[in-house]
A and B are shown apart, each in its own frame.
Chain A
Amino acid sequence: MDRRTFIIRSGSAFASVSASAVVHAVIPHTETSGVLNTSPVKNYKQADWLTIAVTQNHLFPSDPDAPGSVEINALTYLHDYLSNPFTDPADVEFILSGTRLLQTFTQQENGNTGAAYTDLSIEQRELILRQFEKLPEGRRWLVNILNYLLEALLTDPVYGGNPNGIGWQWLEHRAGDPHPPANKRYWLL
C-alpha cells in the first residue's frame, strides 16, 4: 500500500493528517499542471480539495474486494476535469460553491463544537451528508460528486480514472474497441 492509499484508506484518520499533505499526495501535479493559473480552479484551496477527497472516500469507500475512490483515482480524475480549459467554468464554480457550502453547513450543524467537516467520524459525516442532501443545493452537489466518481470508475483509463480498467474488471464490463488514444481525448478532437 503506498502512502497515498494509506492516507485515504485511513478514513477518519484524515483528521490527523495535514490538509496540505493529503492534497499533495492525491494531486501530485497540482503545482505543475500549468493550466491552473488561467482556470477558475485556481480558486480551490487545499481545504476544498480535502473536503472533496473526504467526501469521495465516504461515498465510495474501498473494500477488500472492490475498488474505492482511491483505487479509481477519483480525486485526480475530478481535478483534471475541473482544470481542463474546455470545462464549463460554471461546472468548476458549482463544485467549489457546493464544497464551501458543505464546510459552512457542517460548522452550523455542529454549533458550539465547531468541528470541521474533515474532522468528523464516519458516523458523524454520514449524518451531516444526509442532512446536506435535504438542501436542494446540497443534493445537486452530491449528485455531481457521485457522477464524477462513477466517471472515474468506468470511463476509459486515458482520462485518468479507472487505472488499468480496475472499475471495468470489478463490474465485469466489456469496453469497446477502439479505445480513445491520448491525442484524441474528447476535447482534442
Chain B
Amino acid sequence: MSHDYDICVVGSGAGAGPIIYTLAHAGYKVLVLEKGPWYTEQDYFKDELKTSLRGGYTPDLRDEQHVVEIENDDGSWRNFPTHQSSWNFWNGNVVGGSSNFMSGFFHRLKPNDFKLLSTYGPIAGTNIVDWPISYDDMEPYYDKVEKVVGVSGRVIKHPFQEPRSSADFPYPPTAEHPIAQHIDKACERLGFHSMPMPRAILSQPALNRKSCVYSGFCGSYGCATGAKSSSRAALIDSALTTGNCELRPESMVTHIHSDKTGKVSAIEYVDKQGNKHAVDAKIYVVAAQAIETARLLLNSTGPKHPDGLANNSGQVGKNLIFAGGGAGSGRLSYDKFSAEQVSELKQFGTFVNRSIQDWYEIRDKNLFKTDAPQKGGTIDFVHLHPNPVARANRQTRGNGGLLWGKPLKDRLHEHFTGGRYIKVEAFCDWVPTDNSHVSLDKKIKDKWGLPVAKIKVDVHVQNLKVGWYLANKSGDVLREMGADNVISFASGVPPTNLVAGSCRFGHNPKTSVLNPDCQAHDVENLYVTDGSFMPTGGSVPHTWTIYANSFRVADKIVARFGGVKKADV
C-alpha cells in the first residue's frame, strides 16, 4: 500500500524535532503538521507586548481555551474555563513550539529518577512507578542532545553529578554575570556546591547557528540569533535542508482516524483558510505537548478505540504531572556595595548561570518523619525577569490599596534603580496522583467544534514539603550573599509551561499507554514523543529529557523502517 509520507508528525516542539531531524536525515519522507505560524529569527523581537502581554504566541482564549479543576480549601473541587481566569495553559503555538521561548535551563535526570519507586519506596496517595528504561539507556541521547541540539556548560564535581559518556560539554558556558561570583562565595562559606548551569544556548557560533549576543531577554522570548536551541533552530531548519521534510504551519489536526484493525489510517487537519485535508503515512507521531496530545487522542475515537485512540486501558490523560518546587528572590541593594561592585552588579545581558543540586536527595527526619532518604531537587539562580511592565505593575499594589501618584513613582524609581534582584527557581518532582489528569470537557468546545481539555490539578503534600526544603536552602544562600527583601516559598501552583505525563510509558498495557519505545500498546503505527511519556518528571525542567527521549525513539523508528537510507546523519 502506498502512503503519502513515511512518517507524519503532529507538532514541532522538543518532542517532535528529534524525530523530524533524524528521520529526514535518514532519508525518509516526513510531513510535519504544526497548528501555529512559522516564525524565524527575523520575526523575533524584544517586544514585551507581543511576547508576554498580548499572548502573541498563544491562541486567543476566546477561540481555544481549557477548563481547569482545582481543589478548594475544604476539599471540594471547582472548575472554571481559562478564558474567565488568569490561567493559560498554552505555551507557544508556533513552529518549534514552546522550545522557542524556553530559558534553556538544561539538567539531565539522575539515575535514581528512572527508578523512583524502587529507590525511595511508595508515597501514600501517589502513582509513582519506575521507568521501563534506565539512565544508561538514555545517556547516549542526553549526550547527543548536547552535541546536536547544542548545550553549553562546564562539568564540575558535586555530590549528585550524574555519569557522563563525554568528559565535558561540547560548548563552554555562556558568559556569566558578576553576580555569579557572589553566589559562589556565599555557597563556599556555607559549604554548598554551586555549579555552572548548563544552558541550551550556544556560547559560540556552531551547528550553522550564531552565538548568543546577550540581549538580556531570553526566557519567554524567541531568539533573534538562533543561539537558543529551539527545536526549530536546532533541528527542523536542518531537516528541511534534506529535501525529505515538508512543514505545514497553521494546520490544526482535528482527528486521527483509525481503521477496523485499530491502526491509524489517516490524519485529518484544517488549514488556515478552514479547508479540511487528510493525509496518510506509514507511521504517525504525536507530540503536541502533554495536555493537547491527550486531548487529541481522546477526541480521536474509532471502531477499535471507542474511548479515544490508544485508550483501551483508560490511561490516556492520566497521571498528568508538572514541575513542582518553589521560588524566591532577594535584592542586592546598591547602598551596601562599593561603587565598583555596583558597576558590576548593573551589568546587563549576561546570565547568572548557577545551580545547586546538593539536595537532590534529602535526609530530614523533622520534615519527613523518617530516617529514609527522600527525593529532593534542584535550585537554579536567575535574574529577575526583565520585563519592565510586569515589574512595574507589581509596584502598584500597596498595603492600603492601589498605589498611584508620587508614592507610585517613588516606588518605581526605587525598585528599578536601587538594587539588583536575584531570583531562585527550585525544582522537585510533581508526584503523579489519581487527581491530576486530562479529560474532555463536556460543555466547552473550541472554534473547530472540538471538546476542549479539562485539566484537573492535584498538589500532593510531598511536593510542598520538598519545595519548602529547597526554598529555605535558597533563602540561606540569598541572605549569605547580603541580599535583603529575601522571600522564598514552596508553590502548589502548576507551572503551565512545564507539563508532562498523560500518556506514560511502561511494560504493562493495563497501566500505561505506551510501551518502552513510546509506541502505543494498542496502535502499532502510533508513537507519542513529547513529555507525555514521562511517568515521573525528575527534579529538573523536562526539556532535555524530552529531546533525548525523542532521539531515542527516532532511532527505534529508523530501525523499524530498515535503517538509514542515506549516510548523512
Contacts and interface: CB of A to CB of B under 8 A. Distances in A.
Nearest to A174: B348
Given A173-B416, A180-B45, A186-B50, A59 B388 contact: no
A176 B46 contact: yes
B49 A60 contact: no
A178 B45 contact: yes
A171 B418 CA distance: 10
Contacts of B413: 66, 170-171
B224 interface: yes
Interface string A31-48: 000000000000000000
Q: Report the interface size class on chain A.
A: 35 or more
Contacts of B126: none
Nearest to A61: B405
A172 B49 contact: no
B402 interface: yes
B417 A171 contact: yes
Nearest to B348: A174
A130 interface: yes
B444 interface: no
Interface in A39-76: 58-61, 63, 66
Interface in B399-418: 401-402, 404-406, 408-409, 412-413, 416-417
Given A173-B416, A186-B54, A60 B408 contact: yes
Contacts of B405: 58-61, 126
B279 interface: no
A171 B49 contact: no
A142 interface: yes
Nearest to B404: A59
Contacts of B119: none
A185 B389 CA distance: 17
Contact of A60 (B47, B48, B56, B409): B409
B43 interface: yes
Contacts of A63: 406, 409
Interface in B27-63: 37, 39, 43, 45-50, 53-54, 56, 62
A159 B45 CA distance: 13
B181 interface: no
B216 A174 contact: yes
A151 B216 contact: no
A168 interface: yes
A150 interface: yes
A181 B46 CA distance: 10
Candidate in B45, B62, B349 with the most chain A CB atoms within 10 angstroms: B45
B50 A189 contact: yes
Contacts of B54: 186-187
B46 A175 contact: yes
B393 A147 contact: yes
A177 B215 contact: yes
Interface residues of B, number: 38
A179 B45 contact: yes
A184 B43 contact: yes
A189 B388 contact: no
A167 B99 CA distance: 31
A143 interface: yes
Contacts of A186: 47, 49-50, 54, 56
B217 interface: yes
Given A59-B405, A130-B401, A189-B39, A150 B389 contact: yes
A156 B49 contact: yes
A154 interface: yes
Contacts of B404: 58-60, 129, 142, 146
A139 interface: yes
B391 to A, nearest CB: 8
Given A155-B389, A180-B45, A142 B215 contact: no
B103 interface: no
A146 B43 contact: no
B450 interface: no
For A63, A167, A178, the residue with the greatest tally of chain B CB atoms inside 10 Å of its CB is A178
B564 interface: no
B466 to A, nearest CB: 35
B408 A59 contact: yes
B558 interface: no
A78 interface: no
Contacts of A173: 386, 388, 416
A168 B409 contact: no
Contacts of A180: 45-47, 50
Contacts of A168: 388
A133 interface: yes
Contact of A153 (B39, B49, B217, B392): B392
Interface in B281-317: none
A150 B392 contact: yes
Contacts of B216: 174, 176
Contacts of B392: 150, 153-154, 171
Nearest to A126: B405
Interface string B139-183: 000000000000000000000000000000000000000000000
A175 B408 CA distance: 22
A123 B392 CA distance: 25
Contact of A142 (B39, B47, B402): B402
A16 to B, nearest CB: 22
Given A142-B402, A154-B48, 5 more contacts: A66-B409, A88-B62, A146-B404, A172-B416, A179-B46
Interface of A: 58-61, 63, 66, 88, 126, 129-130, 133, 139, 142-143, 146-147, 150-151, 153-156, 159, 167-168, 170-181, 184-187, 189
16 contacts: A146-B393, A146-B408, A153-B389, A155-B53, A155-B389, A156-B48, A168-B388, A171-B388, A171-B413, A174-B348, A174-B349, A180-B46, A184-B43, A184-B45, A185-B49, A189-B43
